[in-house]
């Protein structure tokens, strides 16, 4: 059993609560080591609260994966936890590279990542496996209505460039303004995000639905845990159908007034609102660390608090300008 464990959280951004959850899990388990943050910008708030900070190239550059592999080798990283969608495709192709240096990449297979990243492939997967999902319409078909409709980028993330389409004029405008989008039927209902724990063996064990009460900038700011048996059951079944999932999978769905559940997004990573599920008792960081160290976590699927409300607020990290300049390239 490892005496120490270093964990790398990539593209850390504003994920202070998640960083602290990993740090707290290590302390509770008596595991020594560091929680290290990587980001391409020293202006990332959570970057400055980690045990160690690593400035890395942008994920859009060719050296991103090479840099992370080198960092993991030099820093003796045991676990790498990717946090944003844009880095997942390249990293999911590098599992063997990380494994060869003794690092575990907490990420689903490349097939799963590609299925979830491409919203059209997500739709096709859901339909093929019998899950309800908003219908996708070709542009020419969508012009005939009925409206409203909904448009989102085929390879989008964080609710960027998503648009409700109230009429034909809006559809024509956004269609010509977008690069590659998916047009869907408009769904009315209660939106839920569900955190599903698949662990390191891909077996879905726990699903925690969070009803979205308020969203700011594409990320939930107010939410409430909801113990809804149908949502829980269908989300566990969905992750099982995907197979080859690792860690936490974040799924978005609508609960319709007639009781149907329509799935709209699958993200094979920790979601932005996952601190609510962790605080409610689904301690994903602790379970991952225990599994990695060869221990058997005490995972009880229903042992999380129903009706826990998260009300997020802005805080601040203060640094002197010269401290930030220390991270600038010479």
Q: What is the mean pLDDT of residues 156-183?
A: 86
116: tokens are: 């979830």
Q: Which fold has domain 113-117+188-311?
A: D-amino Acid Aminotransferase; Chain A, domain 1 (3.30.470)
Which tokens go with 124? Answer: 């096709």
Write down the residue that tokens 């045991």 correspond to: 78
Q: How many CB atoms lie within 10 A of CB 112?
A: 24
Q: State the chain's mean pLDDT as an integer.
A: 94
Summarize the confidence of residues 72-93 as an average pLDDT: 97
Q: What are phi and psi of 128, to 5 degrees?
A: -65, -30
How much is the pTM?
Answer: 0.94
Residue with tokens 């024509």, as numbered in its chain: 172
Domain 6-107+316-325: assigned CATH number: 3.40.50.20
The fraction of the chain above a pLDDT of 90, given in percent, is 89
Residue 330 pLDDT level (bands cut at 50, 70, 90): very low
Q: How far, in Å, CA of 193 to CA of 252, rounded?
A: 4
pLDDT tops 90 at residue 247:
yes
In the chain, where the domains are located: 6-107+316-325, 113-117+188-311, 135-185
Taking only the tens place, the pLDDT of each residue in 194-221 is 999 999 999 999 999 999 999 987 789 9
The strand order across the sheet containing 261-267 reads 261-267, 247-255, 190-199, 206-216, 219-225, 309-311
What is the average per-residue pLDDT within 242-254? 97
């Amino acid at each position: 059993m490892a005496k120490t464990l270093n964990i790398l959280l990539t593209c850390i951004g504003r994920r202070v609560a998640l960083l602290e959850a990993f740090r707290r899990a290590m302390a509770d388990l008596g595991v020594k080591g560091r929680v290290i943050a990587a980001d391409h910008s020293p202006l990332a708030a959570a970057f400055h609260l980690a045990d160690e900070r690593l400035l890395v190239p942008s994920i859009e550059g060719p050296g991103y994966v090479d840099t992370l592999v080198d960092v993991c080798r030099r820093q003796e990283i045991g676990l790498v936890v990717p946090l944003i969608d844009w880095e997942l495709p390249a990293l999911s192709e590098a599992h063997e590279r990380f494994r060869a240096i003794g690092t575990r990449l907490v990420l689903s297979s490349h097939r799963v990542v590609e299925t979830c990243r491409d919203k059209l492939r997500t739709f096709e997967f859901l339909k093929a496996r019998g899950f309800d999902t908003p219908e996708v319409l070709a542009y020419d078909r969508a012009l005939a209505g009925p409206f409203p409709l909904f448009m989102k980028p085929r390879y989008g993330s964080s609710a960027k460039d998503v648009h409700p389409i109230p009429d034909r004029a809006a559809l024509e405008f956004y269609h010509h303004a977008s690069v590659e989008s998916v047009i869907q039927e408009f769904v009315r209902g209660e939106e839920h995000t569900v955190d599903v724990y698949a662990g390191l063996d891909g077996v879905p064990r726990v699903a925690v639905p969070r009803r979205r009460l308020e969203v700011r900038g594409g990320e939930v700011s107010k939410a409430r845990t909801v113990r809804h048996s149908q949502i829980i059951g269908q989300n566990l079944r969905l992750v099982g159908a995907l197979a080859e999932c690792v860690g936490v999978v974040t799924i978005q769905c609508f609960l319709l007034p007639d009781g149907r559940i329509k799935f709209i997004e699958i993200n094979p990573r920790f979601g932005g609102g996952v601190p609510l599920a962790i605080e409610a008792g689904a301690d994903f960081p602790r379970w991952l660390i225990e599994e990695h160290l060869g221990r058997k976590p005490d995972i009880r699927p229903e042992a999380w608090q129903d009706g826990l409300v998260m009300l997020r607020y802005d805080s601040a990290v203060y640094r002197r300008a010269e401290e930030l300049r220390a991270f600038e390239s010479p």
